[in-house]
């Protein structure tokens, strides 16, 4: 095995080759690895001598080549040393590849120059991010679990809370730097930005004492009782998340738990325009964030908006609601000459099959005026109808009706609805005046017996809206382009799901305001690292496949001979190794080779920036 150099248009190119004997007895050579050009090697692997680096790669490959058996002497009568770790986590190496591609190590080192402390901020950040993805738990458990990594922490637990306070101070700087560096690793499309809010609960009973006015003025993340997404009667904090059109997290903001989420959009937009130097984009939100102030703000400058609209409630006028539900006057994209009656889409089996995947629409221009900015505020209301979407919404409602029936049949004690989408909205509460002995409770001073039954009127009323989807925008694009944009909103919902469930971002085990802020910042960074890894794997695998594989990738150390994989090789592990450019899936990885793998995981392979 040896290194050869070929002259190319881009300069000297390095290859690792070996001699082989073909089946007919003739001698030839086989290329084992294309290392790249001299300039690529120097930039990507941060080395001055490309040839020396290539020689080292060849030696490592030769040591790992099949056919070179390793003899390990094991004594069945010898007891293993006490407290010695023999099984190590190796899934983090692929996260480390992305971590260094994003130059988070440089961000930490830049921060360290502004402070005087002795602990390694980068090492703390790495371990917090890796363990948040691999084994999410408290900060103390994270420090314990990190001992199972190939690279053990070089800090003590008491350094972690102090590091969190520093990270909180650099909260905005870290986010803006992450955006800049991420552009060299994956393609960022910021022409469309998705924004949504969620909240996280704390297992405490009492709100923080800080007043709402002080919390807003000082941008403090105070724990307050509010409208919990999980209907828990516990104090919460709110998180707003911006995501770009490719599904990569862009920026986040944190607020007190009782803050109106509609008021969180404009401040974080202003930060993005200032810190990220973005000015031309379309903001896509759901109906819960579509206040008139937010829409007017994004009707100014080079900004635009698309927001979903609920036609079931009183957010739009009765007249507009009836227009949306009117069965006649519907159009089909590409067919400008006909209008359709959606009641006739299933007249025959052939019609039903032909129209099932089609999306019919109609639009209405709504004129308005923004007095504050002295400009026109004109919007278009688009309504779409789809048989496929009708069947989907119908199936969801039918499942909720079944849950309501089961609750009634089992005599569930709590049958009052908690939210607009709660299945208990289909349960009707009735009160009948009875004498005191038969009464369940007193209602407005009158003794009454309370009964519950299925609300058929509510079910029938909601069925009227099956298949309809509405949105408002100031864009003049085709409805197909607008639908394509709104369909991307599912990725921000998935990001929240990953953060809450897969990364176990709640409940939160820190209490100081600055450390709460830093906790969610590390969760945001973990989400960014994971999403970039997903893109580098060409989005071929689900989150459960990727996370399950990373968490199960362990290697067992066999004395000083090397490390043996203790995981199942799959398509996911193959893709991870191809992405990272190193392999841990040999029958045994020698000690020296493993050191080379660790070094390789810290090179910037996917970054287009020079080091």
Three-state SS annotation for 405-433: HHHHHCCCCCCCCCCCCCHHHHEEEEEEE
Q: Tokens 């080091």 sit at which residue?
A: 611
Listed in sequence order, the residues at least 6 apart from 78 whose beta carbon sits closer than 8 Å to its beta carbon are none
- Predicted local confidence at residue 71, as pLDDT: 76
Could you tell me which residue, 433 or 264, shows the higher pLDDT?
264
Backbone φ, ψ for residue 201 (5° rounding): -95, 160
Cα–Cα distance for residue pair 530/546, rounded to 1 Å: 9
Beta-carbon contacts of 333 under 8 Å, excluding residues fewer than 6 positions away, are: 359, 361, 478, 479, 480
Q: In the predicted model, is pLDDT for residue 260 greater than 90?
A: yes
Q: Based on the number of CB atoms within 10 Å of its own CB, is 66 exposed (0-12), middle (13-18) or buried (19 or more)?
A: exposed
pLDDT of residue 107: 97
Domain limits of the chain?
1-68, 391-463
Whether residue 607 is predicted with pLDDT greater than 80 in this model: the reply is no
Question: Two tokens at 459?
Answer: 């079910």
Q: How confident is the model at residue 24 (pLDDT cuts 50, 70, 90)?
A: low
| pLDDT higher than 80, residue 27 | no
Q: What is the pLDDT of residues 548-562, one digit of tens each?
A: 999 999 999 998 889
Distance CA 277, CA 265 (A): 17
Q: What is the pLDDT of residue 507?
A: 78
Give dist(CA 433, CA 96) in Å, integer.
69
Residues in the chain: 611
- In angstroms, the CA 215 to CA 516 distance is 14
| pLDDT top residue among 1 and 390 | 390
Element (H, E) at 243: strand 236-244
Q: Is the pLDDT higher at 334 or at 533?
A: 533
| Alpha-carbon distances, residue 239 vs 128, 223, 337 (angstroms) | 20, 12, 47
For the sheet containing 554-558, what is the strand order? Answer: 87-89, 554-558, 562-565
Residue 146, SS3 per DSSP: helix
Per-residue pLDDT band at 25 (split at 50, 70, 90): low
Residue 604 to residues 31, 40, 111, 594, Cα–Cα distance (Å): 24, 11, 20, 18
- 315 SS3 class: coil
**Pairing assessment for the beta strands 11-21 and 554-558 based on DSSP bridges:** unpaired
- Give residues with Cβ within 8 angstroms of 235, minimum separation 6: 201, 202, 204, 205, 206, 207, 208, 223, 224, 225, 257
- The token pair at 349 is 């089996």
How distant, in Å, are the alpha carbons of 15, 387, 436, 463, 470 from that of 466? 61, 9, 44, 5, 12
Retrieve residue 382's tokens: 């688009």
Rounded distance, CA 100 to CA 464, Å?
53
Determine which of 301-305, 486-490, 550-554 has the lowest per-residue pLDDT on average: 486-490
Handedness of CA 458, 461, 463, 468 (dihedral sign): negative
pLDDT value at residue 357 = 92
Q: In 3-state terms, what secondary structure has residue 515?
A: helix
Contact 163, 198 (CB under 8 A): no
């Amino acid at each position: 095995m040896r290194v050869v150099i070929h002259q190319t248009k881009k300069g000297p190119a390095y290859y690792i080759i070996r001699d082989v004997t073909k089946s007919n007895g003739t001698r030839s050579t086989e290329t084992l690895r294309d290392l790249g050009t001299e300039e690529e090697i120097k930039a990507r692997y941060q080395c001055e001598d490309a040839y020396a680096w290539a020689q080292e790669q060849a030696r490592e490959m030769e040591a790992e080549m099949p056919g070179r058996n390793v003899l390990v002497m094991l004594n069945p009568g010898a007891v293993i040393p006490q407290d010695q770790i023999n099984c190590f986590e190796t899934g983090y190496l692929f996260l480390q590849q992305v971590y260094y591609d994003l130059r988070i190590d440089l961000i930490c080192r830049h921060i360290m120059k502004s402070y005087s402390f002795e602990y390694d901020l980068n090492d703390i950040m790495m371990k917090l991010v890796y363990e948040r993805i691999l084994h999410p738990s408290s900060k103390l458990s994270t420090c314990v679990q990190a001992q199972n990594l190939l690279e053990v922490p070089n800090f003590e637990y008491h350094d972690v809370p102090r590091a969190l306070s520093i990270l909180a101070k650099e909260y905005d700087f870290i986010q803006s730097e992450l955006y800049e560096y991420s552009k060299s690793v994956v393609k960022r499309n910021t022409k469309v930005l998705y924004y949504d809010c969620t909240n996280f609960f704390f297992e405490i009973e009492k709100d923080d004492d800080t007043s709402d006015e002080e919390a807003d003025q000082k941008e403090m993340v105070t724990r307050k009782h509010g409208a919990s997404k999980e209907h828990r009667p516990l104090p919460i904090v709110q998180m707003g998340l911006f995501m770009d059109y490719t599904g990569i997290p862009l920026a986040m903001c944190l607020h007190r738990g009782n803050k109106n989420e509609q008021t969180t959009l404009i401040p974080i937009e202003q930060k993005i325009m200032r810190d990220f130097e973005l000015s031309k984009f379309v903001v896509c939100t759901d109906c819960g964030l579509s206040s008139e102030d937010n829409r007017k703000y994004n009707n100014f400058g080079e900004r635009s908006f698309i927001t979903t609209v609920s036609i079931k409630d009183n957010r739009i006028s009765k007249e507009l609601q009836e227009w949306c539900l009117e069965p006649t006057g519907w159009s089909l994209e590409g067919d400008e000459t006909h209008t359709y009656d959606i009641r006739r889409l299933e007249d025959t089996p052939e019609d039903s099959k032909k129209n099932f995947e089609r999306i019919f629409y109609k639009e209405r221009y709504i004129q308005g005026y923004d007095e504050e900015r002295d400009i026109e505020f004109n919007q278009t209301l688009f309504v779409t109808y789809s048989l496929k979407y009708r069947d989907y919404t119908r199936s969801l409602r039918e499942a909720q009706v079944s849950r309501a029936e089961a609750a009634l049949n089992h005599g569930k004690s709590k049958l009052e609805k908690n939210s607009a989408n709660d299945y208990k909205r289909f349960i009707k509460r009735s009160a009948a005046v009875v004498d005191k002995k038969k009464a369940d409770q007193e209602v407005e001073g009158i003794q009454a017996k309370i009964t519950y039954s299925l609300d058929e009127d509510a079910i029938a009323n909601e069925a009227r809206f099956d298949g309809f989807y509405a949105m408002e925008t100031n864009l003049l694009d085709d409805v197909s382009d607008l639908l394509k944009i709104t369909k991307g909103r599912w990725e921000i919902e998935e990001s929240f799901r990953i953060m809450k469930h897969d990364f176990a971002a709640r409940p939160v085990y820190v209490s100081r305001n600055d450390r709460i802020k830093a906790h969610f910042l590390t969760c945001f960074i973990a989400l960014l690292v994971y999403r970039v890894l997903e893109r580098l794997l060409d989005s071929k695998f689900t989150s459960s496949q990727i996370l399950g594989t990373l968490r199960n990738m362990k290697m067992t150390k066999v004395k000083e001979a090397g490390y043996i994989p203790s995981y199942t090789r799959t398509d996911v592990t193959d893709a991870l190794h191809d992405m990272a450019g190193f392999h841990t899936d040999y029958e045994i990885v020698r000690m020296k080779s493993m050191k080379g793998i660790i070094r390789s995981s810290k090179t910037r392979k996917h970054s287009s920036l020079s080091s």
